[in-house]
Structure 1
Amino acid sequence: MTEFTPWSALLGGVLIGLAAVGMMALEGRIAGISGIASRLLPPWPDAAWKGRLGFVLGLVAAPLAAWLATGDAPAQSVPGNLPLMALAGLLVGFGAVLGHGCTSGHGVCGLARFSPRSLAAVLTFMITGFLTVALMRHGLGS
């Protein structure tokens, strides 16, 4: 079980909110990670790909910067089952395409805009997540 740290959670939420506001203010776009990352692939139809690359690099650099600032390596566990992880990644990507957005786009930006479609998407992936955890912990044994 991960320990709840309210101050770091608050700071993380504020930074995510600032990133979403900055993306909307500077590029006029929703800060949905799947859309940003998918538009990094060639061909690059516009000059905004550099901004998207900076956004994605910031996602990678943030935990490294926190590690350097605090001296504590970020706690992360990765299961050893690589085929299952690959399948999970493909399913998440398929879900992002099917739902016309990802958890960050719908959950952070869509709900803030009172989007009914985003509310339906967030409810769908939250309920699916809850059921998956319940099944994996209690149904299939883990």
Structure 2
Amino acid sequence: MSIDWASFTPWSALAGGALIGLAASLFALLNGRVAGISGLLGSLLQRQSEGRGEKAAFLFGLLLAPGLLAMFAALPPVHFDVGSFGLILAGLLVGIGTRYGSGCTSGHGVCGLSRLSPRSLVATLCFMATGFATVFVLRHLLGG
């Protein structure tokens, strides 16, 4: 394994992680809710959900942030090595896993672990192990 040191950006990664933690902490402190993206989106789509305004604003901010960044810096290029079918399949599998796992990476990995939730620890270990196994199979066994 080799590291592309020219593309290695630990300071921006650290700043991004700190901002994610700050946003999740503020959302929990100010709203009393966990900032799990799949849960926010799912409850936003329900008619009887309370706090729809702040949920919509939080999710809108996630979509708006790359546009704001693009005004000040060049965004990195996005490249997928799979076709449309692969992206659709991956999205469906993530959605199914999110429903069965009662949350997503932001809900379990960021918010749940910070609250020392045992369920979130198990969920995070499962999706990390699955991700590692998927990369290993695709890159080393299937030669992708």
TM value normalised by structure 2? 0.89
CA offset digits 1:110-130 (Å, max 9, x no partner): 111111111111110111000
Does residue 24 in structure 1 map to residue 28 in structure 2? yes
The code of the aligned residue for 1:28 comes to G
Q: 1:90 matched to which residue of 2? A: 92
Does residue 57 in structure 1 map to residue 60 in structure 2? yes
Q: 1:135 matched to which residue of 2? A: 137
**Alpha-carbon distance between aligned partners in 2 of 1:76 and 1:44, rounded to the nearest angstrom:** 37
Deviation at 1:80, TM superposition (A): 5.1
The runs of at least 4 consecutive aligned structure 1 residues that moved more than 3 Å come to: none
Over aligned residues, Cα RMSD in angstroms?
1.6
- Mapping of residues 1-142 of structure 1, within 5 Å: 3-46=7-50, 48-70=51-73, 72-79=74-81, 81-142=83-144
Stretches of structure 2 that go unaligned for 5 or more consecutive residues are none
Give the share of equivalent positions with the same residue, in percent. Answer: 50
TM value normalised by structure 1? 0.91
Q: Check 1:118–1:82 CA distance in 2 against 1; reply closer, same or farther (3 A cut).
A: same
CA offset digits 1:30-52 (Å, max 9, x no partner): 11010111122141432x11111
**Alpha-carbon distance between aligned partners in 1 of 2:49 and 2:132, rounded to the nearest angstrom:** 39
CA offset digits 1:5-35 (Å, max 9, x no partner): 1111111011101110111012111110101
SS class of match (2:35): coil
**Alpha-carbon distance between aligned partners in 1 of 2:132 and 2:99, rounded to the nearest angstrom:** 21
Q: Check 1:53–1:78 CA distance in 2 against 1; reply closer, same or farther (3 A cut).
A: farther
**Alpha-carbon distance between aligned partners in 2 of 1:52 and 1:16, rounded to the nearest angstrom:** 16
**Paired residue total:** 140
**Alpha-carbon distance between aligned partners in 2 of 1:78 and 1:138, rounded to the nearest angstrom:** 18
**Contact 1:67-1:74 within 8 A present in 2 as well:** no
Deviation at 1:79, TM superposition (A): 4.2
The code of the aligned residue for 1:139 comes to L
**Alpha-carbon distance between aligned partners in 2 of 1:90 and 1:120, rounded to the nearest angstrom:** 22
**Alpha-carbon distance between aligned partners in 1 of 2:59 and 2:52, rounded to the nearest angstrom:** 11
